[in-house]
Chain A
Protein backbone atom coordinates (compact mmCIF):
# COMPACT_ATOMS: atom_id res chain seq x y z
CA UNK A 1 0.00 0.00 0.00
CA UNK A 2 2.72 2.38 0.96
CA UNK A 3 4.64 1.49 -2.17
CA UNK A 4 1.63 2.29 -4.31
CA UNK A 5 1.18 5.52 -2.41
CA UNK A 6 4.81 6.42 -3.00
CA UNK A 7 4.55 5.59 -6.67
CA UNK A 8 1.30 7.48 -7.21
CA UNK A 9 2.55 10.48 -5.26
CA UNK A 10 6.01 10.52 -6.79
CA UNK A 11 6.97 9.03 -10.10
CA UNK A 12 3.46 8.89 -11.53
CA UNK A 13 2.87 12.58 -10.84
CA UNK A 14 5.91 13.38 -12.90
CA UNK A 15 5.00 10.85 -15.53
CA UNK A 16 1.47 12.24 -15.79
CA UNK A 17 2.73 15.81 -16.03
CA UNK A 18 5.28 14.89 -18.69
CA UNK A 19 2.75 12.90 -20.71
CA UNK A 20 0.19 15.67 -20.41
CA UNK A 21 2.64 18.40 -21.43
CA UNK A 22 4.48 16.32 -24.00
CA UNK A 23 1.29 14.91 -25.49
CA UNK A 24 -0.21 18.37 -25.75
CA UNK A 25 2.88 19.83 -27.38
CA UNK A 26 3.26 16.93 -29.80
CA UNK A 27 -0.39 16.94 -30.76
CA UNK A 28 -0.44 20.69 -31.30
CA UNK A 29 2.77 20.48 -33.32
CA UNK A 30 1.26 17.73 -35.45
CA UNK A 31 -1.86 19.82 -36.02
CA UNK A 32 0.21 22.87 -36.94
CA UNK A 33 2.40 20.88 -39.33
CA UNK A 34 -0.59 19.19 -40.94
CA UNK A 35 -2.36 22.52 -41.26
CA UNK A 36 0.71 23.97 -43.01
CA UNK A 37 0.66 21.06 -45.43
CA UNK A 38 -3.04 20.59 -46.09
CA UNK A 39 -4.87 23.67 -44.81
CA UNK A 40 -2.26 26.35 -45.44
CA UNK A 41 -4.91 28.96 -46.10
CA UNK A 42 -5.97 28.79 -42.44
CA UNK A 43 -2.91 30.79 -41.43
CA UNK A 44 -3.62 33.50 -43.98
CA UNK A 45 -7.06 34.20 -42.58
CA UNK A 46 -6.34 33.89 -38.87
CA UNK A 47 -6.84 37.23 -37.17
CA UNK A 48 -5.95 37.69 -33.51
CA UNK A 49 -8.40 40.52 -33.11
CA UNK A 50 -11.39 38.61 -34.45
CA UNK A 51 -10.26 35.38 -32.79
CA UNK A 52 -10.20 37.14 -29.44
CA UNK A 53 -13.50 38.85 -30.12
CA UNK A 54 -15.13 35.49 -30.75
CA UNK A 55 -13.43 33.76 -27.80
CA UNK A 56 -14.55 36.53 -25.45
CA UNK A 57 -18.13 36.11 -26.57
CA UNK A 58 -17.93 32.44 -25.75
CA UNK A 59 -16.15 32.60 -22.41
CA UNK A 60 -18.41 35.27 -20.97
CA UNK A 61 -21.58 33.60 -19.69
CA UNK A 62 -24.69 34.38 -21.72
CA UNK A 63 -22.80 36.46 -24.28
CA UNK A 64 -23.89 34.20 -27.14
CA UNK A 65 -27.44 33.55 -28.28
CA UNK A 66 -27.16 29.83 -27.79
CA UNK A 67 -26.08 30.32 -24.19
CA UNK A 68 -29.15 32.44 -23.58
CA UNK A 69 -31.32 29.76 -25.16
CA UNK A 70 -30.02 27.18 -22.66
CA UNK A 71 -29.66 29.08 -19.37
CA UNK A 72 -29.38 26.02 -17.11
CA UNK A 73 -26.81 24.31 -19.30
CA UNK A 74 -24.89 27.57 -19.57
CA UNK A 75 -24.86 28.14 -15.81
CA UNK A 76 -23.85 24.57 -15.02
CA UNK A 77 -21.20 24.51 -17.75
CA UNK A 78 -19.55 27.69 -16.53
CA UNK A 79 -19.59 26.81 -12.86
CA UNK A 80 -18.49 23.27 -13.61
CA UNK A 81 -15.53 24.32 -15.74
CA UNK A 82 -14.45 27.00 -13.28
CA UNK A 83 -14.52 24.58 -10.38
CA UNK A 84 -12.90 21.85 -12.46
CA UNK A 85 -9.89 24.00 -13.23
CA UNK A 86 -9.60 26.11 -10.08
CA UNK A 87 -10.14 23.44 -7.43
CA UNK A 88 -7.15 21.20 -8.18
CA UNK A 89 -4.83 24.15 -8.66
CA UNK A 90 -5.86 25.99 -5.51
CA UNK A 91 -6.88 23.16 -3.21
CA UNK A 92 -5.03 23.66 0.07
CA UNK A 93 -3.81 20.07 0.21
CA UNK A 94 -2.32 20.35 -3.29
CA UNK A 95 -0.64 23.68 -2.64
CA UNK A 96 0.82 22.50 0.64
CA UNK A 97 2.07 19.28 -0.91
CA UNK A 98 3.76 21.21 -3.66
CA UNK A 99 5.23 23.68 -1.20
CA UNK A 100 6.60 20.82 0.91
CA UNK A 101 8.02 18.93 -2.03
CA UNK A 102 9.42 21.70 -4.18
CA UNK A 103 9.14 24.83 -2.06
CA UNK A 104 7.16 27.89 -3.10
CA UNK A 105 3.42 27.39 -3.32
CA UNK A 106 0.66 29.93 -3.75
CA UNK A 107 -2.60 31.17 -2.37
CA UNK A 108 -5.05 28.41 -1.66
CA UNK A 109 -8.75 28.00 -1.20
CA UNK A 110 -10.33 27.76 2.21
CA UNK A 111 -11.20 24.11 2.78
CA UNK A 112 -14.92 24.78 2.86
CA UNK A 113 -14.78 26.48 -0.53
CA UNK A 114 -12.75 23.67 -2.05
CA UNK A 115 -15.18 21.23 -0.59
CA UNK A 116 -18.18 22.93 -2.17
CA UNK A 117 -16.37 23.32 -5.47
CA UNK A 118 -15.44 19.65 -5.51
CA UNK A 119 -19.02 18.75 -4.86
CA UNK A 120 -20.02 21.11 -7.66
CA UNK A 121 -17.79 19.27 -10.12
CA UNK A 122 -19.25 15.94 -9.04
CA UNK A 123 -22.78 17.25 -9.36
CA UNK A 124 -21.83 18.78 -12.71
CA UNK A 125 -20.75 15.35 -13.90
CA UNK A 126 -24.03 13.92 -12.69
CA UNK A 127 -25.89 16.69 -14.52
CA UNK A 128 -24.01 15.96 -17.73
CA UNK A 129 -24.64 12.26 -17.31
CA UNK A 130 -28.36 12.79 -16.85
CA UNK A 131 -28.40 15.20 -19.78
CA UNK A 132 -26.56 12.69 -21.94
CA UNK A 133 -29.09 10.01 -21.13
CA UNK A 134 -32.27 12.03 -21.08
CA UNK A 135 -31.90 14.34 -24.07
CA UNK A 136 -32.44 12.22 -27.11
CA UNK A 137 -30.19 14.23 -29.42
CA UNK A 138 -27.34 14.08 -26.92
CA UNK A 139 -27.97 10.42 -26.21
CA UNK A 140 -27.85 9.75 -29.95
CA UNK A 141 -24.43 11.41 -30.16
CA UNK A 142 -23.01 9.78 -27.07
CA UNK A 143 -20.43 7.05 -27.38
CA UNK A 144 -19.08 4.76 -24.67
CA UNK A 145 -16.06 7.03 -24.59
CA UNK A 146 -18.20 9.98 -23.62
CA UNK A 147 -19.52 8.15 -20.57
CA UNK A 148 -16.09 6.89 -19.63
CA UNK A 149 -14.72 10.42 -19.85
CA UNK A 150 -17.35 11.60 -17.42
CA UNK A 151 -16.21 8.93 -15.01
CA UNK A 152 -12.57 9.86 -15.54
CA UNK A 153 -13.34 13.49 -14.80
CA UNK A 154 -15.52 12.74 -11.81
CA UNK A 155 -13.19 10.14 -10.27
CA UNK A 156 -10.45 12.37 -8.80
CA UNK A 157 -13.04 14.76 -7.38
CA UNK A 158 -15.17 12.02 -5.91
CA UNK A 159 -12.16 10.21 -4.42
CA UNK A 160 -10.68 13.51 -3.23
CA UNK A 161 -13.93 14.38 -1.54
CA UNK A 162 -14.07 10.92 0.01
CA UNK A 163 -10.55 11.04 1.21
CA UNK A 164 -10.83 14.61 2.59
CA UNK A 165 -13.88 13.68 4.63
CA UNK A 166 -12.02 10.59 5.89
CA UNK A 167 -14.92 8.29 5.17
CA UNK A 168 -14.27 4.63 5.52
CA UNK A 169 -11.52 3.39 3.26
CA UNK A 170 -10.26 6.93 2.85
CA UNK A 171 -6.69 5.70 2.51
CA UNK A 172 -7.59 3.75 -0.58
CA UNK A 173 -9.64 6.70 -1.73
CA UNK A 174 -6.51 8.82 -1.40
CA UNK A 175 -4.58 6.50 -3.67
CA UNK A 176 -7.50 6.36 -6.10
CA UNK A 177 -7.57 10.16 -5.97
CA UNK A 178 -3.93 10.41 -7.01
CA UNK A 179 -4.15 7.72 -9.66
CA UNK A 180 -7.35 9.03 -11.15
CA UNK A 181 -6.02 12.59 -11.14
CA UNK A 182 -2.97 11.39 -13.02
CA UNK A 183 -5.16 9.45 -15.42
CA UNK A 184 -7.21 12.57 -16.06
CA UNK A 185 -4.09 14.56 -16.86
CA UNK A 186 -2.80 11.85 -19.15
CA UNK A 187 -6.12 11.62 -20.93
CA UNK A 188 -6.28 15.29 -21.83
CA UNK A 189 -4.06 15.22 -24.92
CA UNK A 190 -5.42 11.91 -26.20
CA UNK A 191 -9.17 12.20 -25.79
CA UNK A 192 -11.98 14.67 -26.33
CA UNK A 193 -10.76 16.36 -23.17
CA UNK A 194 -8.34 17.99 -25.59
CA UNK A 195 -11.17 20.38 -26.39
CA UNK A 196 -9.83 22.50 -23.52
CA UNK A 197 -6.63 23.07 -25.49
CA UNK A 198 -8.23 23.32 -28.93
CA UNK A 199 -11.04 25.66 -27.92
CA UNK A 200 -9.14 28.92 -28.56
CA UNK A 201 -7.99 27.65 -31.94
CA UNK A 202 -11.25 26.35 -33.37
CA UNK A 203 -13.26 29.21 -31.89
CA UNK A 204 -10.57 31.69 -32.90
CA UNK A 205 -10.50 30.46 -36.46
CA UNK A 206 -14.29 30.64 -36.69
CA UNK A 207 -14.08 34.16 -35.29
CA UNK A 208 -11.38 35.10 -37.78
CA UNK A 209 -13.38 33.89 -40.76
CA UNK A 210 -16.65 35.38 -39.55
CA UNK A 211 -15.17 38.66 -38.39
CA UNK A 212 -12.28 39.23 -40.75
CA UNK A 213 -13.65 37.81 -43.97
CA UNK A 214 -17.39 37.80 -43.60
CA UNK A 215 -18.06 40.84 -41.39
CA UNK A 216 -20.51 38.78 -39.38
CA UNK A 217 -20.88 37.84 -35.73
CA UNK A 218 -20.42 34.24 -34.69
CA UNK A 219 -22.12 34.24 -31.32
Chain B
Protein backbone atom coordinates (compact mmCIF):
# COMPACT_ATOMS: atom_id res chain seq x y z
CA UNK B 1 0.00 0.00 0.00
CA UNK B 2 1.09 3.51 -0.72
CA UNK B 3 2.18 4.98 2.61
CA UNK B 4 2.29 8.50 1.28
CA UNK B 5 5.39 8.25 -0.88
CA UNK B 6 3.45 9.11 -4.00
CA UNK B 7 1.25 11.78 -2.48
CA UNK B 8 1.63 15.40 -3.43
CA UNK B 9 3.96 16.85 -0.80
CA UNK B 10 4.60 20.11 -2.64
CA UNK B 11 4.13 22.89 -0.07
CA UNK B 12 1.09 25.02 -0.68
CA UNK B 13 -2.67 25.16 -0.52
CA UNK B 14 -5.04 23.48 -2.93
CA UNK B 15 -8.79 23.85 -3.01
CA UNK B 16 -10.38 20.43 -3.51
CA UNK B 17 -14.12 20.80 -3.16
CA UNK B 18 -16.63 23.51 -2.51
CA UNK B 19 -18.72 21.81 0.12
CA UNK B 20 -20.87 24.90 0.58
CA UNK B 21 -21.82 24.88 -3.12
CA UNK B 22 -22.98 21.27 -2.87
CA UNK B 23 -25.73 22.35 -0.51
CA UNK B 24 -27.26 24.26 -3.38
CA UNK B 25 -27.19 21.21 -5.61
CA UNK B 26 -28.72 18.70 -3.25
CA UNK B 27 -31.56 18.79 -0.73
CA UNK B 28 -29.28 17.43 1.94
CA UNK B 29 -25.53 17.03 2.27
CA UNK B 30 -24.08 15.35 5.31
CA UNK B 31 -21.37 13.28 6.94
CA UNK B 32 -18.46 14.71 4.93
CA UNK B 33 -15.21 12.79 5.04
CA UNK B 34 -11.84 13.20 3.36
CA UNK B 35 -9.35 10.73 1.93
CA UNK B 36 -6.09 10.02 3.75
CA UNK B 37 -4.13 11.84 1.04
CA UNK B 38 -6.53 14.77 1.28
CA UNK B 39 -7.23 14.71 -2.46
CA UNK B 40 -10.90 13.85 -2.09
CA UNK B 41 -13.83 15.01 -0.07
CA UNK B 42 -17.07 13.08 -0.10
CA UNK B 43 -20.48 13.39 1.49
CA UNK B 44 -23.81 11.61 1.55
CA UNK B 45 -26.26 13.58 -0.62
CA UNK B 46 -29.97 13.44 -1.19
CA UNK B 47 -30.67 13.17 -4.89
CA UNK B 48 -34.44 12.67 -4.85
CA UNK B 49 -37.37 11.38 -2.84
CA UNK B 50 -36.01 8.56 -0.69
CA UNK B 51 -33.02 8.50 -3.01
CA UNK B 52 -29.48 8.98 -1.81
CA UNK B 53 -26.04 8.95 -3.32
CA UNK B 54 -22.49 10.05 -2.60
CA UNK B 55 -20.82 13.15 -3.94
CA UNK B 56 -17.03 13.04 -4.30
CA UNK B 57 -15.22 16.24 -5.20
CA UNK B 58 -18.44 17.51 -6.79
CA UNK B 59 -19.17 14.36 -8.81
CA UNK B 60 -22.09 12.18 -7.82
CA UNK B 61 -21.88 8.40 -7.83
CA UNK B 62 -24.03 6.89 -10.59
CA UNK B 63 -25.63 4.52 -8.12
CA UNK B 64 -28.62 5.58 -6.04
CA UNK B 65 -29.69 3.98 -2.77
CA UNK B 66 -32.57 3.98 -0.31
CA UNK B 67 -30.23 4.55 2.60
CA UNK B 68 -26.55 5.25 3.06
CA UNK B 69 -24.46 5.43 6.18
CA UNK B 70 -20.94 4.93 7.41
CA UNK B 71 -19.32 6.79 4.55
CA UNK B 72 -15.55 6.68 4.98
CA UNK B 73 -12.27 6.56 3.14
CA UNK B 74 -10.06 3.54 3.73
CA UNK B 75 -6.31 3.85 4.25
CA UNK B 76 -5.87 2.95 0.57
CA UNK B 77 -8.05 5.96 -0.36
CA UNK B 78 -11.01 3.82 -1.45
CA UNK B 79 -14.35 5.34 -0.49
CA UNK B 80 -16.82 2.98 1.15
CA UNK B 81 -20.33 3.20 2.50
CA UNK B 82 -22.99 0.88 3.85
CA UNK B 83 -25.86 1.11 1.37
CA UNK B 84 -29.38 -0.23 1.20
CA UNK B 85 -31.73 -0.99 -1.65
CA UNK B 86 -35.07 -2.79 -1.44
CA UNK B 87 -34.48 -3.17 2.32
CA UNK B 88 -31.28 -5.20 1.93
CA UNK B 89 -27.79 -3.94 2.61
CA UNK B 90 -24.28 -4.24 1.25
CA UNK B 91 -21.04 -2.29 1.00
CA UNK B 92 -20.44 0.11 -1.86
CA UNK B 93 -16.83 0.87 -2.72
CA UNK B 94 -16.20 3.87 -4.96
CA UNK B 95 -19.79 3.63 -6.12
CA UNK B 96 -19.80 -0.08 -6.91
CA UNK B 97 -21.62 -2.47 -4.63
CA UNK B 98 -20.48 -5.89 -3.52
CA UNK B 99 -22.27 -8.79 -5.18
CA UNK B 100 -23.72 -10.09 -1.93
CA UNK B 101 -26.50 -8.32 -0.07
CA UNK B 102 -27.56 -8.89 3.52
CA UNK B 103 -30.31 -7.92 5.92
CA UNK B 104 -27.88 -5.56 7.56
CA UNK B 105 -24.21 -4.62 7.45
CA UNK B 106 -22.35 -2.52 10.01
CA UNK B 107 -19.16 -2.07 11.99
CA UNK B 108 -16.64 -1.72 9.15
CA UNK B 109 -13.09 -2.51 10.23
CA UNK B 110 -10.09 -2.34 7.99
CA UNK B 111 -6.43 -3.17 7.92
CA UNK B 112 -4.60 0.01 8.84
CA UNK B 113 -1.85 -0.90 6.39
CA UNK B 114 -3.88 -2.50 3.62
CA UNK B 115 -7.32 -0.98 3.64
CA UNK B 116 -8.76 -4.47 3.32
CA UNK B 117 -12.25 -4.23 4.71
CA UNK B 118 -14.42 -6.47 6.85
CA UNK B 119 -17.96 -5.74 8.01
CA UNK B 120 -20.40 -7.40 10.36
CA UNK B 121 -23.47 -8.80 8.60
CA UNK B 122 -26.80 -10.36 9.44
CA UNK B 123 -28.99 -12.55 7.26
CA UNK B 124 -31.91 -14.62 8.47
CA UNK B 125 -31.04 -13.62 12.04
CA UNK B 126 -27.67 -15.34 11.68
CA UNK B 127 -24.55 -13.28 12.25
CA UNK B 128 -21.14 -13.37 10.54
CA UNK B 129 -18.45 -11.16 9.08
CA UNK B 130 -17.77 -10.39 5.44
CA UNK B 131 -14.30 -9.55 4.18
CA UNK B 132 -14.10 -7.89 0.76
CA UNK B 133 -17.42 -9.46 -0.26
CA UNK B 134 -16.53 -12.93 1.04
CA UNK B 135 -18.58 -14.03 4.05
CA UNK B 136 -17.20 -16.19 6.85
CA UNK B 137 -17.88 -19.87 6.36
CA UNK B 138 -19.78 -20.03 9.64
CA UNK B 139 -22.54 -17.94 11.06
CA UNK B 140 -23.61 -17.40 14.67
CA UNK B 141 -26.52 -16.41 16.87
CA UNK B 142 -24.90 -13.07 17.53
CA UNK B 143 -21.71 -11.22 16.72
CA UNK B 144 -20.10 -8.14 18.19
CA UNK B 145 -16.74 -6.42 18.71
CA UNK B 146 -15.45 -7.13 15.21
CA UNK B 147 -11.74 -6.52 14.74
CA UNK B 148 -9.06 -7.13 12.13
CA UNK B 149 -5.29 -7.18 11.78
CA UNK B 150 -3.16 -4.41 10.31
CA UNK B 151 -2.99 -6.28 7.02
CA UNK B 152 -6.73 -6.89 7.10
CA UNK B 153 -6.23 -10.58 6.24
CA UNK B 154 -7.62 -11.90 9.50
CA UNK B 155 -10.74 -10.85 11.29
CA UNK B 156 -12.18 -11.84 14.64
CA UNK B 157 -15.22 -11.14 16.77
CA UNK B 158 -17.10 -12.17 19.86
CA UNK B 159 -19.86 -14.58 18.87
CA UNK B 160 -22.77 -16.34 20.50
CA UNK B 161 -22.61 -20.03 19.80
CA UNK B 162 -26.01 -21.66 20.14
CA UNK B 163 -29.16 -20.30 21.68
CA UNK B 164 -30.69 -20.39 25.13
CA UNK B 165 -34.34 -19.92 26.05
CA UNK B 166 -35.47 -16.42 26.88
CA UNK B 167 -34.93 -15.44 30.53
CA UNK B 168 -33.30 -18.79 31.31
CA UNK B 169 -30.71 -17.54 33.73
CA UNK B 170 -29.23 -20.94 34.49
CA UNK B 171 -28.70 -21.80 30.83
CA UNK B 172 -27.06 -18.45 30.20
CA UNK B 173 -24.57 -19.09 32.95
CA UNK B 174 -23.58 -22.37 31.31
CA UNK B 175 -21.82 -20.20 28.73
CA UNK B 176 -22.74 -19.44 25.13
CA UNK B 177 -20.19 -16.83 24.18
CA UNK B 178 -16.77 -17.22 22.66
CA UNK B 179 -14.50 -15.64 20.09
CA UNK B 180 -14.20 -16.56 16.42
CA UNK B 181 -11.21 -16.12 14.15
CA UNK B 182 -12.00 -15.87 10.44
CA UNK B 183 -15.32 -17.50 11.20
CA UNK B 184 -14.01 -20.39 13.30
CA UNK B 185 -15.21 -20.21 16.85
CA UNK B 186 -13.14 -21.51 19.72
CA UNK B 187 -14.24 -24.87 21.07
CA UNK B 188 -14.82 -23.55 24.54
CA UNK B 189 -17.63 -21.17 25.40
CA UNK B 190 -17.81 -18.73 28.30
CA UNK B 191 -20.47 -16.82 30.19
CA UNK B 192 -19.16 -13.76 28.36
CA UNK B 193 -16.39 -12.84 26.00
CA UNK B 194 -15.28 -9.29 25.31
CA UNK B 195 -12.57 -7.24 23.64
CA UNK B 196 -11.08 -9.74 21.16
CA UNK B 197 -7.51 -8.95 20.25
CA UNK B 198 -5.54 -10.43 17.36
CA UNK B 199 -1.81 -10.98 17.29
CA UNK B 200 -0.05 -8.95 14.60
CA UNK B 201 0.40 -12.00 12.38
CA UNK B 202 -3.27 -12.88 12.80
CA UNK B 203 -2.45 -16.38 14.00
CA UNK B 204 -3.57 -15.91 17.58
CA UNK B 205 -6.63 -14.50 19.19
CA UNK B 206 -7.11 -13.42 22.80
CA UNK B 207 -10.16 -12.10 24.61
CA UNK B 208 -11.32 -11.09 28.06
CA UNK B 209 -13.77 -13.70 29.31
CA UNK B 210 -16.01 -14.36 32.26
CA UNK B 211 -15.96 -18.03 33.18
CA UNK B 212 -18.73 -17.62 35.73
CA UNK B 213 -20.54 -14.46 36.71
CA UNK B 214 -17.80 -13.91 39.30
CA UNK B 215 -14.61 -14.97 37.56
CA UNK B 216 -12.81 -13.01 34.91
CA UNK B 217 -9.72 -14.06 33.03
CA UNK B 218 -8.03 -13.99 29.63
CA UNK B 219 -8.51 -16.67 27.00
CA UNK B 220 -5.95 -17.16 24.26
CA UNK B 221 -6.85 -19.36 21.30
CA UNK B 222 -9.63 -20.87 23.39
CA UNK B 223 -7.55 -21.65 26.50
CA UNK B 224 -7.90 -19.58 29.62
CA UNK B 225 -5.21 -18.48 32.02
CA UNK B 226 -5.09 -20.73 35.04
CA UNK B 227 -6.15 -17.98 37.45
CA UNK B 228 -9.19 -15.77 37.55
CA UNK B 229 -9.68 -12.21 38.75
CA UNK B 230 -12.53 -10.03 39.96
CA UNK B 231 -12.14 -8.06 36.72
CA UNK B 232 -9.89 -7.78 33.66
CA UNK B 233 -9.69 -5.40 30.70
CA UNK B 234 -8.67 -6.02 27.13
CA UNK B 235 -5.64 -8.24 26.49
CA UNK B 236 -2.76 -7.26 24.21
CA UNK B 237 -0.15 -9.29 22.36
CA UNK B 238 3.46 -8.31 22.77
CA UNK B 239 4.62 -7.80 19.16
CA UNK B 240 8.02 -9.24 20.06
CA UNK B 241 7.03 -12.69 21.28
CA UNK B 242 3.22 -12.84 21.01
CA UNK B 243 2.91 -13.25 24.77
CA UNK B 244 -0.34 -11.88 26.13
CA UNK B 245 -0.81 -9.34 28.91
CA UNK B 246 -3.87 -7.68 30.37
CA UNK B 247 -4.83 -5.29 33.14
CA UNK B 248 -6.21 -7.40 35.97
CA UNK B 249 -7.80 -6.50 39.26
CA UNK B 250 -6.13 -8.11 42.26
CA UNK B 251 -7.29 -7.52 45.85
CA UNK B 252 -5.20 -4.39 46.36
CA UNK B 253 -5.79 -2.75 42.99
CA UNK B 254 -5.17 -2.98 39.27
CA UNK B 255 -1.94 -4.19 37.73
CA UNK B 256 -0.66 -5.74 34.50
CA UNK B 257 -0.43 -9.52 34.33
CA UNK B 258 1.10 -12.00 31.91
CA UNK B 259 -0.17 -15.58 32.04
CA UNK B 260 -2.18 -14.58 35.10
CA UNK B 261 0.87 -13.40 37.06
CA UNK B 262 1.34 -9.72 37.81
CA UNK B 263 4.37 -8.33 36.01
CA UNK B 264 4.11 -4.91 37.61
CA UNK B 265 4.69 -4.30 41.31
CA UNK B 266 2.52 -1.20 41.36
CA UNK B 267 -1.18 -1.32 42.22
CA UNK B 268 -3.44 1.28 40.74
CA UNK B 269 -6.96 2.56 41.32
CA UNK B 270 -7.46 1.99 37.60
CA UNK B 271 -5.36 0.76 34.72
CA UNK B 272 -6.50 0.20 31.17
CA UNK B 273 -5.78 0.53 27.44
CA UNK B 274 -2.29 -0.79 27.85
CA UNK B 275 -0.13 -0.80 24.74
CA UNK B 276 3.23 -1.99 23.57
CA UNK B 277 5.97 0.01 21.92
CA UNK B 278 6.42 -1.25 18.34
CA UNK B 279 9.45 -3.34 19.32
CA UNK B 280 7.62 -4.82 22.30
CA UNK B 281 10.21 -3.66 24.81
CA UNK B 282 7.97 -1.22 26.65
CA UNK B 283 4.44 -1.34 27.88
CA UNK B 284 2.36 1.62 28.91
CA UNK B 285 -1.20 2.10 30.11
CA UNK B 286 -3.64 4.79 31.06
CA UNK B 287 -3.95 4.68 34.82
CA UNK B 288 -5.06 6.32 38.00
CA UNK B 289 -2.38 6.01 40.70
CA UNK B 290 -4.82 7.74 43.07
CA UNK B 291 -8.58 8.07 43.04
CA UNK B 292 -9.64 10.63 40.46
CA UNK B 293 -6.09 11.39 39.23
CA UNK B 294 -5.18 10.13 35.80
CA UNK B 295 -1.90 9.79 33.96
CA UNK B 296 0.21 7.50 31.78
CA UNK B 297 2.03 4.64 33.46
CA UNK B 298 4.96 3.26 31.49
CA UNK B 299 6.76 0.13 32.64
CA UNK B 300 5.08 0.51 36.05
CA UNK B 301 6.28 4.12 36.48
CA UNK B 302 3.55 6.77 36.45
CA UNK B 303 4.23 10.10 34.84
CA UNK B 304 4.39 13.05 37.24
CA UNK B 305 1.55 14.95 35.56
CA UNK B 306 -2.05 14.21 36.54
CA UNK B 307 -5.34 14.95 34.86
CA UNK B 308 -8.46 15.27 36.97
CA UNK B 309 -11.07 14.24 34.41
CA UNK B 310 -9.57 11.64 32.10
CA UNK B 311 -6.71 10.47 29.91
CA UNK B 312 -7.36 8.99 26.48
CA UNK B 313 -5.81 8.44 23.04
CA UNK B 314 -2.41 7.30 24.30
CA UNK B 315 -0.03 6.44 21.46
CA UNK B 316 3.60 5.37 21.12
CA UNK B 317 5.93 7.06 18.66
CA UNK B 318 7.10 4.76 15.83
CA UNK B 319 10.42 4.19 17.58
CA UNK B 320 8.67 3.57 20.87
CA UNK B 321 10.66 6.18 22.72
CA UNK B 322 7.88 8.71 23.23
CA UNK B 323 4.26 8.59 24.30
CA UNK B 324 1.61 11.17 23.54
CA UNK B 325 -1.91 11.32 24.87
CA UNK B 326 -4.90 13.53 25.39
CA UNK B 327 -5.94 14.52 28.90
CA UNK B 328 -8.72 16.55 30.43
CA UNK B 329 -8.81 18.59 33.62
CA UNK B 330 -11.49 20.99 34.83
CA UNK B 331 -13.35 20.60 31.55
CA UNK B 332 -10.38 21.62 29.35
CA UNK B 333 -8.63 19.26 26.97
CA UNK B 334 -4.85 19.05 26.73
CA UNK B 335 -2.27 17.23 24.67
CA UNK B 336 0.60 15.74 26.65
CA UNK B 337 3.85 14.36 25.34
CA UNK B 338 6.36 12.46 27.47
CA UNK B 339 5.10 13.81 30.79
CA UNK B 340 4.78 17.41 29.58
CA UNK B 341 1.52 19.15 28.88
CA UNK B 342 1.38 21.40 25.84
CA UNK B 343 0.69 25.02 26.75
CA UNK B 344 -2.73 25.66 25.29
CA UNK B 345 -5.88 24.07 26.68
CA UNK B 346 -8.59 23.25 24.12
CA UNK B 347 -12.29 22.53 23.95
CA UNK B 348 -11.36 19.24 22.28
CA UNK B 349 -8.18 17.47 21.22
CA UNK B 350 -7.75 14.41 19.01
CA UNK B 351 -5.16 11.66 19.25
CA UNK B 352 -1.73 13.11 18.48
CA UNK B 353 0.04 11.92 15.34
CA UNK B 354 3.81 11.32 15.31
CA UNK B 355 6.10 11.98 12.39
CA UNK B 356 7.65 8.71 11.14
CA UNK B 357 10.97 9.67 12.73
CA UNK B 358 9.14 10.43 15.98
CA UNK B 359 10.65 13.92 16.25
CA UNK B 360 7.38 15.76 15.83
CA UNK B 361 3.87 15.30 17.08
CA UNK B 362 0.80 17.05 15.72
CA UNK B 363 -2.77 17.04 16.93
CA UNK B 364 -6.09 18.24 15.65
CA UNK B 365 -7.55 20.58 18.25
CA UNK B 366 -10.65 22.74 18.57
CA UNK B 367 -11.64 25.81 20.53
CA UNK B 368 -14.87 27.81 20.23
CA UNK B 369 -15.83 25.80 17.16
CA UNK B 370 -12.61 26.64 15.33
CA UNK B 371 -10.32 23.79 14.41
CA UNK B 372 -6.59 23.95 13.98
CA UNK B 373 -3.50 21.77 14.17
CA UNK B 374 -1.02 22.05 17.02
CA UNK B 375 2.47 20.88 16.13
CA UNK B 376 4.78 20.15 19.05
CA UNK B 377 2.43 22.27 21.13
CA UNK B 378 2.26 25.27 18.81
CA UNK B 379 -1.07 25.95 17.09
CA UNK B 380 -0.91 26.64 13.35
CA UNK B 381 -1.92 30.16 12.23
CA UNK B 382 -4.87 28.92 10.22
CA UNK B 383 -8.24 27.84 11.62
CA UNK B 384 -11.00 25.79 9.98
CA UNK B 385 -14.72 25.25 10.33
CA UNK B 386 -13.96 21.53 10.22
CA UNK B 387 -10.73 19.60 9.98
CA UNK B 388 -9.30 16.11 10.01
CA UNK B 389 -6.24 14.65 11.62
CA UNK B 390 -2.97 15.76 10.03
CA UNK B 391 -0.49 13.45 8.28
CA UNK B 392 3.29 13.77 8.23
CA UNK B 393 5.19 12.99 5.02
CA UNK B 394 7.31 9.81 5.12
CA UNK B 395 10.43 11.90 5.80
CA UNK B 396 8.63 14.00 8.41
CA UNK B 397 9.58 17.20 6.65
CA UNK B 398 6.07 18.07 5.49
CA UNK B 399 2.71 18.16 7.19
CA UNK B 400 -0.57 17.62 5.38
CA UNK B 401 -3.48 19.53 6.85
CA UNK B 402 -7.04 18.92 5.68
CA UNK B 403 -9.72 21.39 6.57
CA UNK B 404 -12.85 23.21 5.52
CA UNK B 405 -12.40 26.97 5.55
CA UNK B 406 -14.87 29.06 7.54
CA UNK B 407 -17.76 30.55 5.54
CA UNK B 408 -16.13 33.97 5.83
CA UNK B 409 -13.21 32.61 3.83
CA UNK B 410 -15.28 30.78 1.24
CA UNK B 411 -16.19 27.54 2.97
CA UNK B 412 -14.12 25.36 0.63
CA UNK B 413 -12.40 22.17 1.61
CA UNK B 414 -8.65 22.71 1.19
CA UNK B 415 -5.55 20.62 1.36
CA UNK B 416 -2.48 22.32 2.80
CA UNK B 417 1.05 21.01 2.72
CA UNK B 418 3.31 22.85 5.13
CA UNK B 419 6.96 22.51 5.93
CA UNK B 420 7.11 20.95 9.36
CA UNK B 421 9.94 23.25 10.43
CA UNK B 422 7.73 26.26 9.74
CA UNK B 423 4.87 25.15 11.93
CA UNK B 424 6.57 23.13 14.65
CA UNK B 425 6.76 24.66 18.09
Contacts and interface: CB of A to CB of B under 8 A. Distances in A.
B331 interface: no
Contacts of A135: none
Contacts of A40: 291
Contacts of A41: 291
A44 interface: yes
Interface in B267-312: 291-292
Contacts of A44: 291-292
A44 B291 CA distance: 8
A41 B291 CA distance: 8
Contacts of B291: 40-41, 44
A214 to B, nearest CB: 18
B61 to A, nearest CB: 52
B131 to A, nearest CB: 46
A198 B49 CA distance: 70
A157 to B, nearest CB: 47
Interface in B363-414: none
A44 B293 CA distance: 12
A41 B290 CA distance: 11
B71 to A, nearest CB: 42
A37 B292 CA distance: 16
A40 B292 CA distance: 11
A40 B288 CA distance: 14
A41 B292 CA distance: 9
Contacts of B292: 44
Interface in A34-55: 40-41, 44
Interface string A52-95: 00000000000000000000000000000000000000000000
A40 B269 CA distance: 11
A9 to B, nearest CB: 51
A137 B124 CA distance: 59
Nearest to A37: B252
Interface in B229-283: none
Nearest to A40: B291
A184 B291 CA distance: 41
Nearest to B252: A37
A145 B375 CA distance: 71
Interface string A10-51: 000000000000000000000000000000110010000000
4 contacts: A40-B291, A41-B291, A44-B291, A44-B292
Interface of B: 291-292
> Which 4 residue pairs spanning A and B have beta carbons closest together?
A40-B291, A44-B291, A44-B292, A41-B291
